[in-house]
A and B are shown apart, each in its own frame.
Chain A
């Protein structure tokens, strides 16, 4: 009897250590990837790296200015399209959740989130690139905007749903119409939630390559015209990572380092916003 109980305790302990071991192992890839990127990337970072164009094979140096500007413009235009639209749909889903329509809208958001990014690339190619006849940054931004929508909609909806009903009721009891309650009370209170959702979605699409392959296409030069093909950091990494040249790999490591740091920064901003907002209620 005593033996059996001891056996069960041993099993329990072994299981727990196994779980802890597996958990530590599953976090190892992130640490390894970050370690390599920092180790390889930091050596190619200097001022020239940020202000120069990539150089041809054989020449030392070269930078990623075209990718930096491209990513900035692509993400900016995508945000301008996606954030207002996403926030409005999120507002609709949270405030009129009893409508029959809102069930279908919610389902579409879920489906939209699951669409592979390469399929969105095809779609925008067919919708924008083919009719206009050439690749353009605008088409890339539209593809990114569609990818940004689901996270923005979801975080808006969830934030607004968390606002205490008593606050709404207080406003309604004072005779304020429901739509004014939404505009004056609910939206301002949920603002930080919308903001953090938007920043998170920006950090998600900033590293996307697949939807840009057939839309923004890439450009070896600096371009600020959104109707022309444009480069971006992930496209730069993709193009140089596949090459066999040491110099280009170095460039790709540097670009990866910059991209990862941008994304980490955006993630930390989101975390801070979320924490700040949590204290409010």
Chain B
């Protein structure tokens, strides 16, 4: 069946011998249209690639003043002073890494449990549908609403906690934004890891069951080792999301330019600095520094995305 389809498609693409003994003009026209149609569709695809490349090139060109002015010092400098044109992004790099990793640590146990619940215990049925939809809806709540909810509900809770622990009660800070980030990335890691878990070949599981394994043992000793790389990719892609998340973090992190000293202290991430200062940035270098941070975000998230997808592809193929 597949061969027949291939043959027919190839014929009409003009790749086959039929082209040679073509008889009349109208048939020639068909082949011409065919070519034009395919090329036209391909052109839109090329346009998409061009857009992506020009995004990268624009970022690169616009951040050259900053790269020239600061060089590698941009990455380890701590001072942030637009008046004297001194910019060090270290506090923001650390802020970004800290919030994202903390968010991953908080969200991963929940995401994995939910994925096992939906992929193994209840792969279909009403219960599964309800939970699946709820998790999906988490992804569609706007980031700014998460931020607002965090300000009104979460900040007072954290402030009370900080009072009890005798640290400065800011309320806002790394921990607060990590908790909100953790909630926001759950749907991304769940949807992928659920699919990976439900793809485990039933014969493997049945083999273990027939040897007398309990479900717990099947999950721990068969499913998780088998899906290890897929689950890793799911967590990696969630990390990519967390790194670039802007609005909720901007509203909750406290916007301090100092190096964060603990998870309770206020800080700033790369995205939140851009959001706060981009429209106020006066001077060529200042703007260009912010664009360089955007470039850094772009490169890092792109690398994470591509490697995550490669892992997933290899997992599905093998």
A residues apposed to B, CB below 8 Å: 8-9, 11-12, 15-16, 18-20, 22-23, 25-27, 29-33, 36-37, 85, 88-89, 91-93, 95-96, 99, 101-102, 104-105, 107-123, 125-127, 146, 149, 165, 168-169, 172-173, 177-179, 182, 203-204, 206-210, 213-214, 217, 234, 237-238, 241-242, 249, 252-253, 256, 259-260, 263-264, 267, 271
Q: Is B306 in the interface zone, CB < 8 Å from A? A: yes
The reply to whether B246 and A178 form a contact with Cβ atoms under 8 Å apart is no
The reply to whether A179 and B143 form a contact with Cβ atoms under 8 Å apart is no
| A residues in contact with B297, CB < 8 Å | 116, 118-119
The reply to whether A118 and B145 form a contact with Cβ atoms under 8 Å apart is no
Q: How far is the CB of A16 from chain B (nearest CB, A)?
A: 7
The reply to whether A207 and B275 form a contact with Cβ atoms under 8 Å apart is no
Q: Is B235 in the interface zone, CB < 8 Å from A? A: no
The reply to whether A101 and B45 form a contact with Cβ atoms under 8 Å apart is yes
| Stretch of B83-91, B114-122, B226-234 that contacts chain A | B114-122
Q: Is B152 in the interface zone, CB < 8 Å from A? A: yes
Q: Which of B109-152 contact A (CB under 8 A)?
A: 109-111, 113-114, 116-118, 121, 131, 133-138, 140-149, 151-152
Taken together as a complex, chains A and B put the C-alpha atoms of A187 and B66 apart, in Å, by: 48
Taken together as a complex, chains A and B put the C-alpha atoms of A117 and B41 apart, in Å, by: 27
With A8-B217, A116-B301 as given contacts, are A108 and B110 in contact (CB-CB < 8 Å)?
Answer: no
| Stretch of B51-59, B72-80, B158-166, B258-266 that contacts chain A | B51-59
Give chain B's interface secondary structure class. Answer: helix
Q: Is B311 in the interface zone, CB < 8 Å from A? A: no
| B residues in contact with A249, CB < 8 Å | 152
The reply to whether A118 and B244 form a contact with Cβ atoms under 8 Å apart is yes
CB closest residue in chain B, given A178: B12
How many A-B contacts are there with CB distance less than 8 Å? Answer: 249
| A residues in contact with B141, CB < 8 Å | 30, 33, 207, 260, 263
**B55 touches which of A11, A20, A115, A117 (Cβ 8 Å):** A115
The reply to whether B186 and A95 form a contact with Cβ atoms under 8 Å apart is no
The reply to whether A256 and B298 form a contact with Cβ atoms under 8 Å apart is no
The reply to whether B148 and A165 form a contact with Cβ atoms under 8 Å apart is no
Q: Which of B13-72 contact A (CB under 8 A)?
A: 13, 30, 33-34, 37-38, 41-42, 44-49, 51-52, 55, 58-59, 62
B residues apposed to A, CB below 8 Å: 1-2, 4-5, 8-9, 12-13, 30, 33-34, 37-38, 41-42, 44-49, 51-52, 55, 58-59, 62, 109-111, 113-114, 116-118, 121, 131, 133-138, 140-149, 151-153, 183, 186, 190, 214-217, 219, 237, 240, 243-247, 251, 271, 274-275, 278-279, 290-291, 294, 297-298, 301-302, 304-306, 309
Top 4 nearest A-B pairs (CB, nearest first) are: A116-B244, A207-B142, A22-B113, A114-B305
The reply to whether A111 and B41 form a contact with Cβ atoms under 8 Å apart is no
**B243 touches which of A105, A116, A182, A204 (Cβ 8 Å):** A116
| B residues in contact with A18, CB < 8 Å | 113
